[in-house]
Every structure is written in C-alpha cells, then in structure tokens.
Copies of this chain bind each other. A is one copy, B any other.
Amino acid sequence: MTPLEKINSMQIPFAQLKRVTFIEAEKDRVVARMLVRPDLCTLGHTIHGGAIMAFADSVGAAATIINLPDDAKGTTTIESKTNFMGGAKEGTTVVAIATPVHRGRRTQVWQTRLETEEGKLVALVTQTQMVL
C-alpha cells in the first residue's frame, strides 16, 4: 500500500463531508484539494475560516500518520494555529500542501500552506501532533 492509498483507505467521515481529495502523499509532502462548495462558505460566497482550518487539520493529521513509527498507536492533534491571509471564492478549489517542521519521537509539527489554484496564499496552519 502506498502512503496515498493508506490515507485514502482511512475514510475519515468529516474529511469526506468536506470532500477532501488527497492527490499526493510522500513522507515529506502531502497535498490535497477541496472544492469551495456553497455549504463550506460564510456570507459573501467565500470559504468559511472554519472550513479552512478543518481542511488543513485533515491534511496535517494524514501527513503525521504516514510518518508514525511502527510501534505508535496513532496520533492526536494537541494544538493548531492558523493565520488567515486571503479568501477563496465559492466554486474555486483550494490546495493544501503540508510539509514537516519537526518529526520527533513524542511529537510531530506540520505546517500546511493553503492556496488558491493560482497560487494565492489563503492561510498558513501550524499544528502539533502527539505520537500515541
């Protein structure tokens, strides 16, 4: 099973509700896409900040999972920080790219950059995952 197959096999309900699609998964980089559906928006037909954070959380957690040591029981997000920089309109697609900041025995720290398809920065998320 490739890392991408592993991630796709997990079938996380909330990631499916938002229709997060993983398109690349290597140990050093996980990429996913999400269409800005009307029901993921706030007023003004723009992606809701909560949908941005939820999308990034799914990608950072997936990246941690494919980097867990064999004897780990799983992972849980212990904290997450988002800076919002720009909007993304209904009907466009947001791309999330997660790269590792730190992969330790007890914790992993991942940073996820969210962009429009044109490469405009939407948000930057840094999250700490506990290795269980």
Cβ contacts A13-40/B at 8 Å (1 or 0 each): 1111100000000000000000000111
Are A85 and B58 closer than 8 Å at their CB atoms?
no
The complex places the Cα of A83 from the Cα of B54 at a distance, in Å, of 14
10 A-B contacts (beta carbon < 8 Å):
A13-B38, A15-B48, A17-B39, A17-B40, A49-B77, A53-B82, A81-B81, A83-B102, A111-B124, A124-B126
Are B50 and A54 closer than 8 Å at their CB atoms?
yes
Cβ contacts A56-82/B at 8 Å (1 or 0 each): 111001000000000000001111111
Closest to A56 in B: B50
The complex places the Cα of A66 from the Cα of B41 at a distance, in Å, of 20
The interface residues of chain A, by DSSP majority, are classed as mixed
Are B81 and A79 closer than 8 Å at their CB atoms?
yes
Closest to A57 in B: B50
Among candidates B15, B51, B83, residue contacting A14 with C-beta atoms closer than 8 Å: B51
The distance from the CB of A74 to the nearest CB of chain B, in whole angstroms, is: 8
Are B53 and A41 closer than 8 Å at their CB atoms?
no
Are B109 and A124 closer than 8 Å at their CB atoms?
yes
Are B48 and A51 closer than 8 Å at their CB atoms?
no
